[in-house]
Amino acid sequence: MSDISLQTWGLSLGLAGGLILVHRLWSGSRSQLPLPPGPKKLPILGNLLDIPSKDPWETYAKWAKDYGSDVLHISIAGQSMILLSSLKATQDLLDKRSSTYSDRQMNEGSPMLALCGWDFAFVLWKYGEPWRTHRRMMKEGFGSPQAVVKYQPKQVLAAHRLLYRLLHTPQDFYSHFAYWGGDNALSAIYGIDVQPTNDPFVEKALHGVDSFAVAGSPGAFLVDALPFLRFVPEWFPGAGFQKTAREIKAMVTEMKDKPFAETKRRISNGTASSSFATDCLESAKERDYTEKMVSDAAATIMLGGTETTVSTMASLLLAMMANPEAQRKAQAEIDAVVGKDSLPTFEHESELPYVAAVLKEMLRWNPAGPIALPHYTEQEDNYNGYRIPAKSMILGNSWGILHDEKTYPDPFSFKPERWLTADGKLNPNAVDPDIGFGYGRRECPGRHFAKTLLWVATASILAAFTVEKARDENGNVIEPTYEYNSGIINSPLPFKCSIKPRSQAIERTIRSFDS
């Protein structure tokens, strides 16, 4: 061997050894970093007993203050969990390090959802090529403000049908909001125009979607805390969750299969209208989509497009009852731009900044998704001097972030003005409440569709009705409780309110929507 070869070999060996040493030193120093602060853990159970079944996001926000940290560590029966309680922490980890923090572990994190047949929902899948393909499909159909413009005419029609139902049976507003959500989703996803009442596709969709809130409710099923229980048979003592899962799975299957079969039938006989499923199926060969891929993606969108919007609209009624001055300001703006006897359309949206501020405040005040579905990291990481263990679940506390008094002064008050400049225009520097739609690569790609249908429904209700506290038979005001169900979708508990048309002229307009 020549001297040059020996020198090169020696240099390479020395360099390799140096790199190994540096790597070991770096790895060792990182492993010695402390975990983020958090409440003391019990053996085996960890912090299982510390997490309340009601409004856990409020407890997480309190812990962040108590420990003086926007990153906390807890453990649930051996599962490491990282709680993020600031916008900066979520941006630093879930956005800027999305390649590390975009994974998801459905079976480990949500075994009850898997047992109930929700394993087709790509929002719950591991990060990888199948997930990327399905997300790409959804982004093509719903992933930008421009992409959802084609759905706006149907959204206006659905809002008008909602007004008609609210006029005739205002006490049933919750079921009307649910029907309206199903109406919008079935039209955009499958091209199905639903019947005015008792539509079988709507009923199947709502039953299926409701089951997600049941199966995914935090702390509702022991199998989510002890995942090995998913292998226990239904007849085993204490395995009642298996029967519940079997019954829910039947509903989920109908929700997924029935409307998709109807879309295929309409394509075959030439009567299909443009929709997400129709467009995907008609371009399936050139895009290398299978029918199962389209069916899975369509049903996943159905999940995201109903329950959260229903919760937000119910919150609108609560907010307007509690804040009549905000309601009057929004109505005055609509009257000045649209007229007292007409209803707003998307052509008026840019001229109604206060209405936009009302919607933003609704999304902040009581977000339908107070805690984002958990992210997951396969590898160890470090942040701000803390160690993030491998195989940790990462939870963004959206509720806590949206109620941070440093960003939103007086956070528990409903104040649309916080989104406006002094001259009444939308403030471009205000921190947007979009985190309620998720974080990083796991952000809901249907958020643009959701925001447009929420806007037109909100503007239409404010233009058409006055929402007030209900009264009993003796004329006494019935105070709403403003209580929420603390589920995976945070919805108001049943309440009563008064919904009355603002004028005879607007009532006549609404009655004309009978079709």
Tens of pLDDT, residues 166-185: 999 999 999 999 999 999 99
Q: What is the largest CA-CA distance in the chain?
A: 106
Secondary structure class of 20 (helix, strand, coil): helix
Q: What span, in angstroms and rounded, lies between the C-alpha atoms of 205 and 44?
A: 40
Q: From residue 1, give the alpha-carbon distance in Å to each of 7, 15, 75.
A: 10, 20, 58
Q: Which residue has the tokens 């009355």?
A: 500
Q: Would you place residue 413 in the very low, low, confident or very high pLDDT band (cuts 50, 70, 90)?
A: very high
Would you place residue 201 in the very low, low, confident or very high pLDDT band (cuts 50, 70, 90)? very high
Residue 108 pLDDT: 57
Provide the pLDDT for residue 227: 84
- Average of per-residue pLDDT across 248-256: 94
**Beta carbons within 8 Å of 206's beta carbon, 6+ residues apart:** 178, 179, 181, 182, 306
CB 310 within 8 A of CB 401: no
**Residue 465, beta-bridge partner list:** 501
Radius of gyration of the chain (CA): 25
Q: What is the four-CA torsion angle of 330, 370, 97, 451, rounded to 10 degrees? A: -30
Q: Please give the pLDDT value at position 209.
A: 86
Note the pLDDT tens digit of each residue in 395-409: 999 999 999 999 999
pLDDT given for residue 285 in this prediction = 87
The mean predicted confidence, pLDDT, of the chain is 90
Task: Give the C-alpha separation, 100 to 300, whole Å.
Answer: 24
The values of phi and psi at residue 242, to 5°, are: -65, -40
pLDDT digits (tens, 9 = 90+) for 73-93: 999 989 999 999 999 999 999
pLDDT at 63 over 70: yes
**Between 515 and 135, where is the model more confident?**
135
Distance, CA of 214 to CA of 226 (rounded, Å): 18
Helix (H, G, I), strand (E, B) or coil at 80: strand
373, pLDDT greater than 90: no
pLDDT of residue 19: 41
pLDDT over threshold 90, residue 497: yes
Q: What is the reported pTM?
A: 0.88
Residue 184 C-alpha from the chain's centroid: 16
| Average pLDDT, integer, range 80-109 | 91
Backbone angle region of 140, left / alpha / beta, with phi > 0 → left and psi within -120 to 50 → alpha:
alpha
More confident position, 157 or 3: 157
Tell me, what DSSP letter sits at residue 95?
Answer: I
415-455 pLDDT per residue, tens: 999 999 999 999 999 999 999 999 999 998 899 999 999 99
**How much is the average pLDDT of 371-392?**
95
User: Which DSSP string corresponds to 174-209?
Assistant: HHHHHHHHHHHHHHHHH-PPPPSS--HHHHHHHHHH
Mean pLDDT in residue range 45-58: 93
Q: Which among 20, 8, 73 is positioned nearest to 381, based on CA atoms?
A: 73
Reported as a pLDDT band with limits 50, 70 and 90, residue 211 is confident
Run of H or E including 393: strand 392-396
In tens, the pLDDT along 294-347 reads 999 999 998 877 888 999 999 999 999 999 999 999 999 999 999 998 999 999
Report pLDDT for 109.
59
Query: How large a percentage of the chain has pLDDT more than 90?
Result: 76
Residues belonging to the binding site are: 444
What is the per-residue pLDDT for 14? 44
In terms of Cα–Cα distance, which of 471, 452, 433, 493 is closest to 349?
A: 452
Mean pLDDT of 204-210: 89
Q: Which pLDDT value is given to residue 124?
A: 86
- The predicted structure's pLDDT at residue 445: 86
- Domains, in order of start, for the chain: 132-371+416-511 (1.10.630.10)
What pLDDT sits at residue 15? Answer: 42
Closest CA to 441 of 377, 381, 357, 500: 377
- Answer yes or no: is pLDDT of 4 > 90: no
Residues making up the binding site for heme: 444
> What percentage of the chain carries pLDDT values higher than 70?
92
Which pLDDT score, from 0 to 100, does residue 26 have?
42
Q: Quick count: other Cβ atoms within 10 Å of Cβ 212?
A: 23
Q: Does 114 have pLDDT greater than 70?
A: yes
- Which residues, including other chains, have CB under 8 Å from residue 18's CB and lie 6 or more apart? none
Give me the residue label for tokens 């233009």. Answer: 463
Tell me how far apart the alpha carbons of residues 104 and 114 are, in angstroms, rounded to a whole number.
Answer: 13
